[in-house]
Amino acid sequence: MSDPLVIFMPSGKRGRFPTGTPVLTAARQLGVDLDSVCGGRGICSKCQVQPGEGSFSKLGVTVAPDALSPFNAVEQRYDEKRGLRPGRRLGCQATVQSDVVIDVPAESQVHRQVIRKAASDRALTVDPATRLHLVTVEEPDMDAPSGDLERLRDALAAQWDLRDLTMPLPVLRTLQTALRKGNWQVTVAVNHHAGAIAGVYPGLRTDGLLGLAIDLGSTTIAAHLCDLATGEVRASGGIMNPQIRFGEDLMSRVSYAMMNPGGDVEMTTAVRSALADLAAELSGEAGVDARDIVEAVVVCNPVMHHLLLGVDPVELGQSPFALATSDALRLEARDLGLDALSPGARAYILPCIAGHVGADAAAVALSEAPDQADPLTLIVDVGTNAEILLGNRDRLLACSSPTGPAFEGAQISAGQRAAPGAIERVEIDADTKEPRFRVIGCDLWSDDPGFAAATEATGITGICGSGIIEAVAEMRLAGLLDAGGLIGSAAQTGTDRCVAEGRTHSFLLWQDGDRRILVTQGDIRAIQLAKSALYAGARLLMDELGVDTVDKVTLAGAFGAHISPRHAMVLGMIPDAPLDAVGSAGNAAGHGARMALCDVSARDRIETLVRQIQKVETAVAPRFQEHFVAANAIPHATAPFPHLGPLPDVSFNQSSGGRRRRR
Amino acid sequence: MSDPLVIFMPSGKRGRFPTGTPVLTAARQLGVDLDSVCGGRGICSKCQVQPGEGSFSKLGVTVAPDALSPFNAVEQRYDEKRGLRPGRRLGCQATVQSDVVIDVPAESQVHRQVIRKAASDRALTVDPATRLHLVTVEEPDMDAPSGDLERLRDALAAQWDLRDLTMPLPVLRTLQTALRKGNWQVTVAVNHHAGAIAGVYPGLRTDGLLGLAIDLGSTTIAAHLCDLATGEVRASGGIMNPQIRFGEDLMSRVSYAMMNPGGDVEMTTAVRSALADLAAELSGEAGVDARDIVEAVVVCNPVMHHLLLGVDPVELGQSPFALATSDALRLEARDLGLDALSPGARAYILPCIAGHVGADAAAVALSEAPDQADPLTLIVDVGTNAEILLGNRDRLLACSSPTGPAFEGAQISAGQRAAPGAIERVEIDADTKEPRFRVIGCDLWSDDPGFAAATEATGITGICGSGIIEAVAEMRLAGLLDAGGLIGSAAQTGTDRCVAEGRTHSFLLWQDGDRRILVTQGDIRAIQLAKSALYAGARLLMDELGVDTVDKVTLAGAFGAHISPRHAMVLGMIPDAPLDAVGSAGNAAGHGARMALCDVSARDRIETLVRQIQKVETAVAPRFQEHFVAANAIPHATAPFPHLGPLPDVSFNQSSGGRRRRR
């Protein structure tokens, strides 16, 4: 008679095992993903399984009620102490007696799909690089002296078949105490991706390892503190990048490094201490010990990347924009100044795509996965630089375009960062030319009753990036602005809100006594430059692929989440596309960081993908300049925008006598 | 016709190569040790060879005058600029034309034997872990962006077949500047032992890499600064271990760590900064840049080992004396606070043998190599702890014995460290009982004319370790001391120099007015304890091997170099042996460190040997106590000392009436 057949679900993996084989052993031999921290000692309860019973016609087996050994004392004790759900067994205790179908519930799998509502709506695969392994270590013997570390290594090899793991000095410092406190039984956190021991804890530890997914932006540093076993976000937060005091945008920071000896070191120190502060803040918020953070994943643009590593970014400021290193980096977290995390904490930095297209763009590619889909997708991550990806499963291109900070509210007369009090939405009545708007921190429109009272606390302080885009687009739609970007006079537009300022006009968005918020001709020009750069970058990639249209446009980044697709298209920021094909991906870079944190296979995926991405350098492409110039109009003339419908046909060219005319 | 035969001498390696094969290429294919930094570009001149001519009957070849290609333009230019010795060729330029015998001179070999007069008289094999490799790196290309590091890695793989090398962040920081300064040609220092890039230098660099061999003792930290290519000692020096302020001996430092929270950290900080100071001092003395130091090798006892690593040594202070780690350690030098060395400098710490027998004893084993010889050798390294090795090529044993600091002059009434002014040699006339002595810093004996004037500067300040040993042994030889260790009275000994102090007597070694140097009964007891511990350790190992005598006794350490073997034997410090079989090995631990620094194969050798050494723990061996008690006499009674000849048969036991008697 042949050995009993064991079939694991949902994987369907099957094999025959001698009667009496523990379920966990069978699972391991078949490569079934069944968790275990204690390695079969019956104490961690991670290996819970649910045996089936009766006839499984599709699988061709009938399972007897006694297909597994009876509930044993260990299971009994566990059930009494902690409670085992009906039908559940401990995989290391239950042994195979006859043919059996065994379901591995999601919570007993190391590798699992989770769908979260918070922090991101996307599915996330959890398959952490760092796992826990309980080992029993031999006690020291004077007659055969060997180090505690060497005996720990022996135990990991014998009990888990884990070899050649490195142990950083800070972990070695904790080893002897942990071994003695745990009475020679310790749980070892092993970072399998780095081949390193990340921590040693006395006794059995089954959970609570944490990781930080960090999106290190030029302006803001955002991070999620995640439970590595579940992917759950325990806390999220952001702080300003303190490097701002050395320069608002990337190039001004590169200049600072060039002009000031030691300037790069100052900026490195600043950003590292901000990361450390953020880690402490999030740990405090989640009520956890920062020393339980065993991994950090960082995504950032190339200049931030170099400054975080302590590499002078000067080469990134001049052609040919050579990165010091482009590959993904596996470091010790303390190398980045993250000393307060677990003593063995590791850092993983995603690869950079090119000198202007960083690990943040790689994270967006990881998160949005255009390479795994058929539609030709244009992904735009707007910041001080816009990173642009275009492609599908056949081919993927990337470039970066120097949009400047206008989209972030800088270089705009009344511009400001997105903060309470900033105008973020604008509508202008096409007939009356009267504007209304909303400010951040208030759900009412400015012409709703109660708006004044509701905004009393914040005031109306300026206009942020999404606000200025809507304002300019609405001005164009309302006929206050011509295709060339000129604001009409009061006479030309029929509204007193168009006020003369020198030789040009401004549009008065809001006034309260002396305080006014205007959209000036200068503001329009700044937005035109930024949107031309963005469009020219996208267009350059489309040329490279030989296409005139795209199937899908994804706006990534916090900014992308707040832009109205229609206004972006009126402005000519993005190529024409059906409005329902334009969507926001939210903080895709941050999500990519979280994916790389929680799912070790995502790291291989992005490292492979980055090598396949075709890099296009905008800075030296003659066609970029051509597209840039041609894209100046609102919307521009180089491509038709059939999905927009007709726009007001106005021209306020002053040299033509200042008269409003129809062509 | 077959291809020309190429025979390399002195290795005798031979092979046939197509006409036109460069000599360097042939050497590489045969695995002949022929140096090259530039990889065959004809610019480093490291691959010089000397072709033979005429008949080589033993080798069975006749070499024609044109066996190699004629002197080419590259060789011509090199000869004009730098001068090539007559008959010498550049191995990368000269090509094989017919059968040839090629001599590789010593200076063209990477791996070589050198005999130095300075720092040590021993032969040293030079085969450094860190070697220089010139590479030409592709310039960055915007259209195929990749990091400078990735292109450097490609060049190392393509031009040197070197792969998977790590690059520490501090080296990465220097990479971009070096590449541009060298116009994309750089010399890379590769630590082949660590698989790491230790430095990147612009253009061609052929020499000047340095290493530190550090002997980190409880009292003194000594180091040699060596040229890694030649083994030459560029500077040597020592400083006091600043940890002394936390405790004179090891156990008092362990106690300090136990009693004072953070005490271990204080001691770690102190020793690391002392190492950094010593590195700076030696660099200054040698007139070199500390940033050219790419390697450091450290030997030390287990407590120093743990304190250097930052591991609390508390476990070493109590049974079972468990080491945190016993294996050799490959670290970055900056991990030990050696930040001022080369940014990629590595540290190698020799393995520890046991909880009481450290990397210093391993270094002694490496240096003295008792495992490679037939005579049964006893090696004693005397410090606050004595490390004892016993064995030959069949078997090697090791133990440590707690001698305490008496041999270092501590716990001795007039004791002091070995410093100018300290009495280091003593003779006592057997008839007159009059002593004479020498002090450190003066070559005259105290009864020589001019002694007073010659010692005026230093004075006579005390008695050091070797001095007290000679004093005690001479007292025994002169009949002033009985076998039990009692000093006789003036009446018993017939000299007024035996003065009563309470119930015991002291021997007056020197007096100048009020200032006196005495050997007290307490001093004798302290020396008896120390020598009993030392002898008991040696005896324990002899028991383990089942032997009563040894073939050879080697006294290691600075102290060992100053002890007179005969006096040591009179004292009973070491087992009886013919006097010419007792020798000093000088600073064997320091020499072992230098071997491990300059010869990478020595590291494998000691790591293998340490695993084979049988460790004997004295602290819990009942026989150790027995031997210790039995070894109290001077010399002791447990083993005969036939080589000593008869000693005065005196007894000053006070209970027997204080009379001098003959048994």
Select the residue from A138, A163, A173 to test the B interface by mutation, using most B Cβ atoms within 10 A: A173
User: A500, A658 in Cβ contact below 8 A?
Assistant: no
Under the banding of pLDDT at 50, 70 and 90, the label for residue B171 is very high
| pLDDT confidence of residue B81 | 87
- Tokens representing B194 are 């660590």
Distance, in Å, from the CA atom of A376 to the CA atom of A552, rounded to the nearest integer, reads 6
DSSP letter at A256 equals H
| pLDDT confidence of residue B638 | 56
| pLDDT confidence of residue B621 | 82
Q: Is the pLDDT of residue B65 over 70?
A: yes
CB atoms within 10 A of CB B285: 13
User: If you count them, how many residues does chain A have?
Assistant: 663
| pLDDT confidence of residue B221 | 93
Between the alpha carbon of residue B96 and those of residues A628, B23, B72, B102, the distances in Å are 62, 6, 13, 10
> By CB neighbour count within 10 A (0-12 exposed, 13-18 middle, 19+ buried), where does A31 fall?
exposed
Average pLDDT of the residues in A207-214:
96
Q: Please tell me if residue A319 touches chain B, with a CB cutoff of 8 Å.
A: yes
| pLDDT confidence of residue B219 | 82
Quick one: what percent of chain B has pLDDT higher than 70?
Answer: 96
Distance, in Å, from the CA atom of B392 to the CA atom of A516, rounded to the nearest integer, reads 95
The sign of the torsion formed by the CA atoms of B1, B6, B7, B13 equals: negative
CB atoms within 10 A of CB A628: 22
For the ranges B346-355, B405-414, B513-522, B629-638, the lowest mean pLDDT is seen at: B629-638
Q: Which of B38, B35, B19 is nearest to B108 (CA)?
A: B35
Q: Do B173 and A311 touch (CB under 8 A)?
A: yes
What secondary structure does DSSP assign to B242-264, as a single string?
A: GGGGG-SSHHHHHHHHHHSTTHH
What secondary structure does DSSP assign to B398-436, as a single string?
A: EEEE---GGGGTTTSTTB--S-TTEEEEEEE-TTT--EE
Distance, in Å, from the CA atom of B148 to the CA atom of B141, rounded to the nearest integer, reads 10
Q: Please tell me if residue A258 touches chain B, with a CB cutoff of 8 Å.
A: no
Q: Tens digit of pLDDT for each residue in A414-469?
A: 998 888 899 999 999 999 999 999 999 899 999 999 999 999 988 999 999 889 99
Which residue in A150, A327, A354 is closest to B325 by CB distance?
A150
| All residues at 6 or more sequence positions from B502 whose CB lies less than 8 Å from its CB, including other chains | none
Q: Is the pLDDT of residue A479 over 70?
A: yes
User: A652, A660 in Cβ contact below 8 A?
Assistant: yes
E strands within B39-129? 48-51, 54-56, 61-63, 89-90, 100-103, 112-115, 123-126
Secondary structure in 3-state letters for B439-456: ECCCCCCCCCCCHHHHCC
| All residues at 6 or more sequence positions from B81 whose CB lies less than 8 Å from its CB, including other chains | none
- Percent of residues in chain A assigned helix, strand, coil, to nearest 5: 35, 25, 40
Distance, in Å, from the CA atom of B468 to the CA atom of B474, rounded to the nearest integer, reads 10
Q: Is the peptide bond before B375 cis (omega within 30 degrees of 0)?
A: no
Select the residue from A169, A267, A544, A607 to test the B interface by mutation, using most B Cβ atoms within 10 A: A169
Query: What is the spatial order of strands in the sheet that B552-556 belongs to?
Result: B582-586, B552-556, B377-381, B386-391, B396-401, B614-615
User: B571, B635 in Cβ contact below 8 A?
Assistant: yes
User: B98, B66 in Cβ contact below 8 A?
Assistant: yes
Angle between helix A302-309 and B169-181 (nearest 10): 110
Angle between helix B588-598 and B600-612 (nearest 10): 130
Angle between helix A465-477 and A521-545 (nearest 10): 90
Which residue in A148, A167, A335 is closest to B323 by CB distance?
A148
Under the banding of pLDDT at 50, 70 and 90, the label for residue B658 is very low
Q: Please tell me if residue B226 touches chain A, with a CB cutoff of 8 Å.
A: no
Q: Do A320 and B142 touch (CB under 8 A)?
A: yes
User: A303, A218 in Cβ contact below 8 A?
Assistant: yes
CB atoms within 10 A of CB A516: 14
| pLDDT confidence of residue A119 | 42
User: A302, B145 in Cβ contact below 8 A?
Assistant: no
| pLDDT confidence of residue B637 | 60
- Tokens representing B296 are 């450091």
Under the banding of pLDDT at 50, 70 and 90, the label for residue B279 is very high
Q: Is the pLDDT of residue B339 over 90?
A: yes
| pLDDT confidence of residue B114 | 64
Which residue in A149, A324, A355 is closest to B172 by CB distance?
A324
Q: Please tell me if residue A323 touches chain B, with a CB cutoff of 8 Å.
A: yes
List residues bridging with B189 in a β-sheet: B132, B199
Query: What is the spatial order of strands in the sheet that A220-227 belongs to?
Result: A233-240, A220-227, A210-216, A293-300, A346-349, A329-332
Q: Tens digit of pLDDT for each residue in A520-537?
A: 999 999 999 999 999 999
Count of A–B CB contacts within 8 Å? Answer: 142
What is the chain A residue with the closest CA to B174?
A: A311
User: A301, A253 in Cβ contact below 8 A?
Assistant: no
Q: Is the pLDDT of residue B528 over 80?
A: yes
The sign of the torsion formed by the CA atoms of B54, B55, B56, B62 equals: positive
Q: How many CA atoms does the CB half-sphere of B307 hold within 13 Å?
A: 40
Q: Which of A371, A350, A358, A369 is nearest to A400 (CA)?
A: A358
Give the distance, in angstroms, between the CA of residue B126 and the centroid of all CA atoms in the same chain: 15
Distance, in Å, from the CA atom of A609 to the CA atom of A352, rounded to the nearest integer, reads 11
| pLDDT confidence of residue B453 | 93
Q: Please tell me if residue B613 touches chain A, with a CB cutoff of 8 Å.
A: no
Q: Do A309 and B149 touch (CB under 8 A)?
A: no
Q: Is the pLDDT of residue B398 over 80?
A: yes
Shortest distance between the Cα of B168 and any Cα of chain A, in A, equals 9
List residues bridging with B505 in a β-sheet: B500
Under the banding of pLDDT at 50, 70 and 90, the label for residue B150 is very high
Q: Tens digit of pLDDT for each residue in B565-607?
A: 889 989 999 888 888 999 988 889 999 999 999 999 999 999 9
Under the banding of pLDDT at 50, 70 and 90, the label for residue A661 is very low
Secondary structure in 3-state letters for B262-317: CHHHHHHHHHHHHHHHHHHHHHHHHCCCHHHEEEEEEEECHHHHHHHHCCCHHHHH
| All residues at 6 or more sequence positions from A356 whose CB lies less than 8 Å from its CB, including other chains | A302, A316, A321, A385, A399, A400, A617, A618, A619
- Tokens representing B91 are 């191995």
Which residue do the tokens 């590499």 mark?
A311
Which of A196-205, A376-385, B110-119 is the most confident on average?
Answer: A196-205
User: If you count them, how many residues does chain B have?
Assistant: 663
Q: Do A140 and B322 touch (CB under 8 A)?
A: yes
Q: Do A311 and B149 touch (CB under 8 A)?
A: no
Q: Please tell me if residue B157 touches chain A, with a CB cutoff of 8 Å.
A: no
Select the residue from A137, A138, A142, A200 to test the B interface by mutation, using most B Cβ atoms within 10 A: A142
What secondary structure does DSSP assign to A363-386, as a single string?
A: HHHHHH-GGG-SS-EEEEE-SSSE
Provide the residue type at B503 as one letter. R
Supply the mean pLDDT for chain A.
91
Q: Do B309 and A354 touch (CB under 8 A)?
A: no
| pLDDT confidence of residue B585 | 87
For chain A, report the end-to-end CA distance as a whole number of angstroms: 93
Q: Do A140 and B310 touch (CB under 8 A)?
A: no
Give SS3 for A251: helix
User: B569, B579 in Cβ contact below 8 A?
Assistant: yes
Which residue in B311, B312, B323 is closest to A145 by CB distance?
B323
| pLDDT confidence of residue A656 | 47
Q: Which of A472, A479, A522, A471 is nearest to A501 (CA)?
A: A522
Q: Is the pLDDT of residue A660 over 50?
A: no
DSSP letter at B127 equals B
Distance, in Å, from the CA atom of B573 to the CA atom of B567, rounded to the nearest integer, reads 9
Average pLDDT of the residues in B209-219:
94
User: A527, A469 in Cβ contact below 8 A?
Assistant: yes
Shortest distance between the Cα of B263 and any Cα of chain A, in A, equals 14
Q: Taking CB atoms and an 8 Å cutoff, what residues of chain B touch A322?
A: 140, 145, 147-148, 176
Between the alpha carbon of residue A33 and those of residues A45, A75, A110, the distances in Å are 15, 21, 6
| pLDDT confidence of residue B645 | 77
